[in-house]
Amino acid sequence: MVQQVTSETTIEVIYPESDGQPMADNTEQFAWIVKIKENLEILFASPADVFIAGDLFWYPVKGNPNIKQAPDTMVVFGRPKGKRSSYLQWNEDNIPPQVVFEILSPGNTLKEMTKKLQFYQRYGVEEYYIYDPAKNDLNGLLSSGDSFEVIEEMNGWVSPRLGIRFTLTPDTLEILSPTGQKFLSPLEIDQLREQERQRAERERQAKEAALQELEAASQEKEAALQELEKERDRYQELLAKLKEKGIDTDNL
């Protein structure tokens, strides 16, 4: 009797790391993506379990690579920092990004943004922020059950998850950390670092000059004491010579 063997073939699912599209459509959009992502990295540098990424594919459903989005910036609380080629949610304790940012460009269509909204709503995003630099327009949505609720007043709004404050000026959006520090561009951060370096250098030079002055004053004091000691010795020598000549120095 011949036993028939049935072979099982497992098809490997590929989750693409790129769709070949650019990260941003223009320099302003790119600058905002970098500013938000990098400043959030700085803000959450200490906690080991806050993962932040920019333009990274997020796959929420195992086995279906067609279900994906690449938020301009996403923040995941409860997942370790580290390198990833994509965010495969089933490998991340099934924790979805809680906060996402999208920076609009003229190339964004209503259909595209509607799909993103539905995706983020369906797969567990808690806070969704959309900024249009060209119009200086900021919108925010909060998860409420199975849907999003629009945040009616974004000027002065504080993110429940991030603790950052959004302030809309007549010209631009300002984002402040919980300590009141303004989100800066990499160039502004570098300029601030250079200013701090120069300030520290001036302070070092001032301290060095003060120490040199103290050392010079100490040397002058030591020289004066030595001169005084010499004068005392000369006086004692004079008194001894007078005594040798029989002069009563006590009655001088």
Instruction: Quote the CA–CA distance of 39 and 54 in Å, as a whole number.
Output: 12
Q: Give the pair of three-digit tokens for residue 118.
A: 């539905």
Pairing of strands 127-132, 137-144: antiparallel
Distances (CA, A) of 165 to 79, 101, 160, 161: 24, 14, 10, 11
Question: HSE on the CB side for 119, CA within 13 Å?
Answer: 20
User: How many Cβ atoms are within 10 Å of 150's Cβ, its own excluded?
Assistant: 9
Name the DSSP letter for residue 100: E
User: How many Cβ atoms are within 10 Å of 36's Cβ, its own excluded?
Assistant: 23
Instruction: Quote the CA–CA distance of 151 and 148 in Å, as a whole number.
Output: 9
Instruction: Quote the CA–CA distance of 113 and 104 in Å, as a whole number.
Output: 9
Angle (CA) 80-82-83 rounded to 5° is 145
pLDDT of residue 88: 98
Which residues, listed in sequence order, are joined to residue 53 by a DSSP beta bridge? 74
pLDDT digits (tens, 9 = 90+) for 224-236: 888 888 888 887 8
pLDDT digits (tens, 9 = 90+) for 21-33: 766 788 999 999 9
- Is this structure's pTM higher than 0.85? no
pLDDT of residue 7: 43
pLDDT of residue 38: 96
Q: Mean of the per-residue pLDDT values for the chain?
A: 89
Name the DSSP letter for residue 251: G
Position 202: which residue type? Answer: R
Position 227: which residue type? Answer: E
Each residue's pLDDT, cut to its tens digit, for the chain (252 residues) gives 434 434 445 678 889 887 667 667 889 999 999 999 999 999 999 999 999 999 999 999 999 999 999 999 999 999 999 999 999 999 999 999 999 999 998 888 889 999 999 999 999 999 999 999 999 999 999 999 889 999 999 999 999 999 999 999 999 999 999 999 999 988 888 887 787 787 888 888 878 878 888 888 888 888 888 888 888 888 788 778 877 777 776 766
pLDDT of residue 241: 80
pLDDT of residue 178: 97
